[in-house]
């Protein structure tokens, strides 16, 4: 049957050098779609939940979705799925650019990397040909230089690489592709570094993926494009200001965490907003492959360097969360995150935590080597980002493993604003009750893109909910989590969902793969994916108490601003959420597993 899957998976063992071509398991693909869902199912089936994340036993799956590379909206995405060294649980980090689509054009749904090379290597893929080549001369290179150096040898390739942070196994290391796109979260770059794998270059002679039914896909695509064009968020808001447009609305709602969440309203927010970024630094938009929205920013740094600009999250994290309103410094620090290959959310959040430790006197001037971690210091955010990328001092090395380990080291675990050891993003869950459920129950730890309830609770999409109440939020959270799992598994960008809904995704997937999903059927696949991630975490040793928010959110009320006095009601919503999911004590019951056709492995 004709389908938008390529039907082929490459298994590359770096210990033995063996490269095997396997058929895609279509039964598994039917149950989990692709990308995040299928990658997790493969990892779970292969028994990876119990291995040491940075050992040769861990596996690294680079996986596209069935819609990646097809003529579908925002169809340029791929996922990196592995066991996270940061959280010890499932990692699936999404990235755009063109690399994922090229992998597919070259004929591969996924590549599974196993083992550990004796010395630094890279993998070169040219259509059917896959080779493991020495990479010593690329070690130490920053992302831009690395991309250019590989292109000298493989002129038509798209380059995926780790930076120095991944090489020295920083638990905040990202995997970069096309210079400045990142599979950013959960330390996936450290897993790549632990395998002595510096890069994967992909060259493809094709540039399209044939779907199951080209006419149907055309029709579905037409309907989607109209929705994207008619929707003011996808046609105007995101292209004009990028995700940075959120700075002002989140701050004016009083849920813009400031100084490591000690406050939640930042007076200088407009200085670091999407509006200011556009007026002062924007050169042009950036589009991922096959994207019609183009939320990416290209900015000028220090008046001369042109590079990828920050999204909302780093603007917040280096901005209000560090008490800093120097936008050029944020652009620069964000650029260094890309260059060194680090998570541009967790790195600045860890700097914010270090600043609070400095405020408390736990980190001293002696630790700081001439660059005190003072609130609002533009020099400090740039310099400490670089130091973390280089692991150049004992403190920088500690910080490079994230706020949880840093704060525990200094005897102040409560200062780490993380869930499952991963830093939470830019919305204060004390003033937005639903997003707290997303944070607490996200299978990959503190994260907003696993059920973006900010949409209904703040932005009024698809309808306006009261952000201050708990009622109905558990059910909303479940649906958002399940639909997100579907989008992530199809190979599309989550931002398409500002304009598209489950019926559009079902139409695209059916045209691509020949399935016959209706909305409920599709959401059930999403639910299955959410549950298998949970099973993976259970096997990895997750405990019910890992579904929790930092104490600050439940015990310290927001001190000032529009949301003054609020705390998270997670104690009320969490049991409701488990009920909605059919879980008991944080894990699926036997009935739930049976209903979803899942089998728990021992």
Partner 1 sequence: MIEVRLFATLRENREKIYFLPAENFHCALDIYNHLNIPADEVSTLLINGFHKKPHDEVKDNDILALFPPVGGG
Site residues, partner 1 (CB under 8 A) = 231-234, 236-238, 240-246, 248-249, 252-254, 270, 273-275, 295, 311-312, 448-449, 452, 454-455, 458-461, 464, 466-468, 494-495, 498, 561-563
Which parts of 89-108 interact with ligand SF4 (CB under 6 A)?
Answer: 96
Q: Would you say 34 or 561 has its CB closer to partner 1?
A: 561
User: CA 484, 486, 491 angle in degrees (round to 5)?
Assistant: 100
Measured distance CA(80)–CA(416) in Å, rounded: 26
Measured distance CA(239)–CA(504) in Å, rounded: 21
Provide the b/e sequence for 130-152 (b: ≥16 CB within 10 Å): bebeebeebeebbbbebbeebee
Q: Which one of ligand SF4, partner 1, none interacts with residue 287, CB within 5 to 8 A by kind?
A: ligand SF4
Q: Which one of ligand SF4, partner 1, none interacts with residue 246, CB within 5 to 8 A by kind?
A: partner 1
Q: Which one of ligand SF4, partner 1, none interacts with residue 291, CB within 5 to 8 A by kind?
A: ligand SF4
Q: Would you say 286 or 563 has its CB closer to ligand SF4?
A: 286
Q: Would you say 544 or 562 has its CB closer to partner 1?
A: 562
Name the nearest CA neighbour of 445 among 476, 414, 475, 424. Answer: 424
Measured distance CA(107)–CA(95) in Å, rounded: 19
Measured distance CA(485)–CA(102) in Å, rounded: 23
Q: Which one of ligand SF4, partner 1, none interacts with residue 117, CB within 5 to 8 A by kind?
A: none
**Is residue 201 within 8 Å of 148, Cβ to Cβ?**
no
Q: Which one of partner 1, ligand SF4, none interacts with residue 296, CB within 5 to 8 A by kind?
A: ligand SF4
Can you read off the two tokens belonging to residue 213? 């039914």
Measured distance CA(258)–CA(266) in Å, rounded: 6
**Is residue 162 within 8 Å of 65, Cβ to Cβ?**
no
**Is residue 127 within 8 Å of 352, Cβ to Cβ?**
no
Q: Would you say 12 or 500 has its CB closer to ligand SF4?
A: 500
Per CB under 6 A, the segment of 32-40, 120-128, 202-210, 291-299 that binds ligand SF4 is 291-299
Q: Would you say 49 or 293 has its CB closer to ligand SF4?
A: 293
Min dist CB 564 to ligand SF4, Å, is 34
Number of residues forming the site for ligand SF4 (CB under 6 A): 12
Which residues are 422's β-sheet partners? 419
Task: Choose which of 159, 295, 322, 371 interacts with ligand SF4 (CB under 6 A).
Answer: 295
Min dist CB 386 to ligand SF4, Å, is 26
Place of tokens 């969440």: 261
DSSP string of 527-553, one letter each residue: HHHHHHHHHHHHHTT--GGGS---HHH
Q: Which one of partner 1, ligand SF4, none interacts with residue 461, CB within 5 to 8 A by kind?
A: partner 1
Measured distance CA(211)–CA(66) in Å, rounded: 9
**Is residue 95 within 8 Å of 175, Cβ to Cβ?**
yes
Sign, Cα dihedral of 93, 94, 96, 98? positive
Q: Would you say 312 or 495 has its CB closer to ligand SF4?
A: 495
Task: Choose which of 88, 296, 319, 451 interacts with ligand SF4 (CB under 6 A).
Answer: 296
**Is residue 214 within 8 Å of 183, Cβ to Cβ?**
no
**Is residue 462 within 8 Å of 455, Cβ to Cβ?**
yes
Min dist CB 67 to ligand SF4, Å, is 12
The alpha-helical segments, DSSP class H, found in 360-501 are 378-390, 394-399, 403-409, 433-441, 454, 473-490
Instruction: Based on the shown chain and the rule CB under 6 A, indicate whether residue 542 belongs to the binding site for ligand SF4.
Output: no
Per CB under 6 A, the segment of 275-283, 289-297, 578-586, 590-598 that binds ligand SF4 is 289-297
Task: Choose which of 48, 176, 293, 574 interacts with ligand SF4 (CB under 6 A).
Answer: 293
Q: Would you say 241 or 404 has its CB closer to partner 1?
A: 241
Q: Would you say 228 or 368 has its CB closer to ligand SF4?
A: 228
Which parts of 22-81 interact with ligand SF4 (CB under 6 A)?
Answer: 74, 76
Instruction: Based on the shown chain and the rule CB under 6 A, indicate whether residue 493 belongs to the binding site for ligand SF4.
Output: yes
Min dist CB 243 to partner 1, Å, is 3
Instruction: Based on the shown chain and the rule CB under 6 A, indicate whether residue 500 belongs to the binding site for ligand SF4.
Output: no
Instruction: Based on the shown chain and the rule CB under 6 A, indicate whether residue 495 belongs to the binding site for ligand SF4.
Output: yes
Task: Choose which of 291, 454, 508, 535 interacts with ligand SF4 (CB under 6 A).
Answer: 291
Min dist CB 405 to partner 1, Å, is 27
Measured distance CA(582)–CA(296) in Å, rounded: 38
Can you read off the two tokens belonging to residue 11? 């298994």
* Residues contacting residue 597 through CB under 8 Å, at least 6 positions apart: 31, 528
Residues that bind ligand SF4 (CB under 6 A): 74, 76, 96, 287-288, 291, 293-296, 493, 495
């Amino acid at each position: 049957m004709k389908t938008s899957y390529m039907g082929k998976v490459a298994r590359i063992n770096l210990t033995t050098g063996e490269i095997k071509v396997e058929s895609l398991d279509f039964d598994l693909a039917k149950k989990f779609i692709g990308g995040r869902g299928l990658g997790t199912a493969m990892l779970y089936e292969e028994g990876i939940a119990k291995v040491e994340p940075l050992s040769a036993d861990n596996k690294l799956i680079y996986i596209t979705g069935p819609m990646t590379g097809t003529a579908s909206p925002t169809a340029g995405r791929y996922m990196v799925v592995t066991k996270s060294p940061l959280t010890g649980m499932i990692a699936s980090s999404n990235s755009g650019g063109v690399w994922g689509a090229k992998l597919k054009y070259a004929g591969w749904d996924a590549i599974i990397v196993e083992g550990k090379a004796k010395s630094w290597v890279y993998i070169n893929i040219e259509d059917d040909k896959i080779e493991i080549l020495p990479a010593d001369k690329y070690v130490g290179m920053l992302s831009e230089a690395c991309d250019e150096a590989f292109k000298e040898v493989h002129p038509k390739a798209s380059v995926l690489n780790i930076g120095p942070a991944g090489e020295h196994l920083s638990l905040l290391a990202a995997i970069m592709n096309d210079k400045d796109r990142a599979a950013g979260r959960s330390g996936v770059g450290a897993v790549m570094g632990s395998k002595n794998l510096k890069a994967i270059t992909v060259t493809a002679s094709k540039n399209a993926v044939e779907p199951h039914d080209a006419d149907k896909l055309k029709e579905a695509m037409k309907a989607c494009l109209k929705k994207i064009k008619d929707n003011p968020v996808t046609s105007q808001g995101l292209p004009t200001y990028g995700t940075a447009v959120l700075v002002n609305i989140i701050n004016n709602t009083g849920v813009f965490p400031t100084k490591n969440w000690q406050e939640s309203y930042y007076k200088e927010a407009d200085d670091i907003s999407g509006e200011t970024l556009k007026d002062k630094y924007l050169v042009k938009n950036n589009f991922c492959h096959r994207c019609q929205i183009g939320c990416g920013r290209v900015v000028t740094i220090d008046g001369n360097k042109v590079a990828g600009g920050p999204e909302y999250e780093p603007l917040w994290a280096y901005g209000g969360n560090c008490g800093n309103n120097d936008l050029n410094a944020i652009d620069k620090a964000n650029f260094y995150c890309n260059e060194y290959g680090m998570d541009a959310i967790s790195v600045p959040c860890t700097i914010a935590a270090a600043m609070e430790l400095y405020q408390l006197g736990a980190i001293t001037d002696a630790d700081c080597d001439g660059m005190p971690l003072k609130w609002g210091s533009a020099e400090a955010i740039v310099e400490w980002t670089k130091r973390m990328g280089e692991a150049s001092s004992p403190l920088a090395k500690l910080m490079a493993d994230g706020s949880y380990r840093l704060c525990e080291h200094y005897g102040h675990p409560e200062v780490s604003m993380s869930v499952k050891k991963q830093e939470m993003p830019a919305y204060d869950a004390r003033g937005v009750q639903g997003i707290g459920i997303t944070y607490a129950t996200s299978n990959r730890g503190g994260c907003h893109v696993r059920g973006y309830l900010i949409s209904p609770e703040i932005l009024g999409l698809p309808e306006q909910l009261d952000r201050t109440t708990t009622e109905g939020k558990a059910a909303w959270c479940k649906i958002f989590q399940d639909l997100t799992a579907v989008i992530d598994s199809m190979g599309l960008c989550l931002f398409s969902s500002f304009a598209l809904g489950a019926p559009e995704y079902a139409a695209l997937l059916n045209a691509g793969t020949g399935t016959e999903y209706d909305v409920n059927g599709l959401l059930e696949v999403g639910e299955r994916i959410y549950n298998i991630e949970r099973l993976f975490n259970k096997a990895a040793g997750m405990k019910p108490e890992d579904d929790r928010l930092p104490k600050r959110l439940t015990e310290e009320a927001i001190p000032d601003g529009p949301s003054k006095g609020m705390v998270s009601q997670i104690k009320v919503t969490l049991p409701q959420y488990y009920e909605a999911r059919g879980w008991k004590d944080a894990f699926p019951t036997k009935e739930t597993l049976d209903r979803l056709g899942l089998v728990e492995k021992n």
